[in-house]
Structure 1
Amino acid sequence: MSTRFPTLFLSHGGPSVLIDGSPAPAAWRNWAASHPVPRAVVMLSAHRPALAPTVTSVDSWRTIYDFRGFPAELYELSYPAPGDAAVAERVREQLAAAGIAVEPDHRDGLDHGAWVPLLAMYPGHDVPVVALSVLPRADAAAHYALGRALAGLADEGILVIGSGSLTHNLYEVMWNDPEVPAWVSTFRDWMLARLAEGDIDALLDWKARAPYADENHPTDEHLLPLFFALGAGGHDSTLFHAGVEHRSVAMDALAFG
């Protein structure tokens, strides 16, 4: 009998979280250590955009260093995890059954939104990974529906992850500044309260209802994986890591279901 996995939303931060003393990787690592190893990971990262839903599996993933100006040791890390064609086909079948068309995607690289948390969680890079695209031109409801279509994967020993950030305004980042502005904390508190309440209507209408929505997300792609994870996992949520780093980067991590 397969293990039923929760679905995760991870605020992945910058790649330097792996080396700068951030507590987030330890939280991801501890979560993974307290659960069985999944059959595969289905990952939707904020850094894999597309105009339409895509599902990708490869023989071995290439590591993408989609960042500049970070310490040299980060460019020496790699995550050559395998893919899983059977799981990728299962994902396509589930999306098709929900009336969601999938387009081909031949990109063979994992961006840092995917490999940074996975390197902390499964450092042996032996858990197969299937990648989905985030849809920057679609809304929260579309990503929630995408997740809902894949809710059954949790019963098949598959871990579904949405990787983004609860807040994401890089113009406001100040490295190692511990002060959290009110516009960050107010938005974050509102989001976490609605998640704790399971208030799906309010969450899907976050751009209109959440305080300081535009300030925290000048573009939407880093919050959209949250709605994907929420749809796939269900409304019961557990916050297993909380915090804000570098003034405006919320590092909250949640498990759904």
Structure 2
Amino acid sequence: MIPSYFFAHGAPSIVLEHNGYTELMSNFAGSTPKPKAIVLFSAHWEQPVQTVSTAEQYSTIYDFGGFQDELYRMTYPAKGDQVLGSQIQTLFAEHGIESHSDSERGLDHGAWAVLKLLYPEADIPVVALSVNRHLTNAQQYEIGKALSKLREQDVLIIGSGGTVHNLRRLDWRADGVDEWAGEFDNWLQSKLEAWDTEALFNYRELAPYAAEAVPTNEHFIPLLLAMGSGDANRQAKLIHRSYQYGNLSLSCWQFN
């Protein structure tokens, strides 16, 4: 059974950077079996009802401003997978999860920036999925859990977001990591490795500096979605963690 993953996508410029995290991502395809398809939840596609892409061919969305000109010339011309998209909607229906389809939307930077580092050839079909910040954390987990069977079909499930993501607290000149960001991620690591869903679902009340680390939850949700898809075995492994700008976490979690 293929693992599922959470990747922090950082700033859009991550695709131009060379550091330990981007090296990990660039080497990912060579160190793991090639999936038949990729299902990706992006923090930058928010919808009030769970939405499944049925696009045949994706355009590239530049949903950011003020970055290097090179970024606006990049494309990620991935193909969709309408059969898999239909299967996903069936799985959602079987689990009582309402879903809609969308055949027009392209890939936002939460999706294509990660995919361009992982699979730069864009030769694997992709089904993009939205997130809904208004659901409970338990409901987020159940959405991921509903898709767990896809892993048996060599489908790679990815959640793309960020565990510590507070743009107002960034220090563009910082070299180290802010203490509060590290403490939050340390707490998170202990609960993920213990598969303590009760604590994780109540992280806002229990985790140190949760309000600072997660001022809005759309970037945190993909972690719970990816985790939910690993419910059968409940094994979480931290593959990488580093920081940019004092507190923007670049982390990768594997769920077996």
TM-score, scaled relative to structure 2: 0.96
Distance in 2 (CA, whole Å) between partners of 1:181 and 1:118 is 28
Distance in 2 (CA, whole Å) between partners of 1:188 and 1:196 is 12
Deviation string, structure 1 residues 211-237 (Cα, Å, up to 9, x no partner): 111111110000000000000023201
For the Cα contact (< 8 Å) 1:168–1:216, is it kept in 2?
yes
Distance in 2 (CA, whole Å) between partners of 1:140 and 1:58 is 28
Distance in 2 (CA, whole Å) between partners of 1:102 and 1:136 is 15
The residue aligned with 1:159 is 156
Deviation, 1:239, is 1.2
The residue aligned with 1:28 is 25
- Secondary structure of the residue aligned to 1:16 is helix
Distance in 2 (CA, whole Å) between partners of 1:75 and 1:152 is 36
Distance in 1 (CA, whole Å) between partners of 2:148 and 2:197 is 16
The residue aligned with 2:167 is 170
Distance in 2 (CA, whole Å) between partners of 1:132 and 1:17 is 22
Distance in 1 (CA, whole Å) between partners of 2:173 and 2:138 is 35
The residue aligned with 1:57 is 54
**Unmatched 5+ stretches in structure 2:** none
Aligned residues: 254
Matches within 5 A, 1:1-257: 4-234=1-231, 235-257=234-256
For the Cα contact (< 8 Å) 2:175–2:245, is it kept in 1?
yes
Distance in 2 (CA, whole Å) between partners of 1:20 and 1:89 is 36
Deviation, 1:186, is 0.8
Distance in 2 (CA, whole Å) between partners of 1:70 and 1:54 is 29
For the Cα contact (< 8 Å) 2:54–2:102, is it kept in 1?
no
Deviation, 1:149, is 0.5
Deviation, 1:90, is 1.0
Distance in 2 (CA, whole Å) between partners of 1:30 and 1:202 is 33
For the Cα contact (< 8 Å) 1:187–1:212, is it kept in 2?
yes
Over aligned residue pairs, what C-alpha RMSD do you find? 1.1
Distance 1:84 1:18, change over 3 A: same
**Unmatched 5+ stretches in structure 1:** none
Deviation string, structure 1 residues 4-59 (Cα, Å, up to 9, x no partner): 21010001101111213232222122222211211110000000000011111211
- Secondary structure of the residue aligned to 1:239 is strand
Distance in 1 (CA, whole Å) between partners of 2:162 and 2:19 is 15
For the Cα contact (< 8 Å) 1:25–1:117, is it kept in 2?
no
Deviation string, structure 1 residues 178-227 (Cα, Å, up to 9, x no partner): 13222111101100111111111111111111111111111000000000
- Secondary structure of the residue aligned to 1:37 is coil
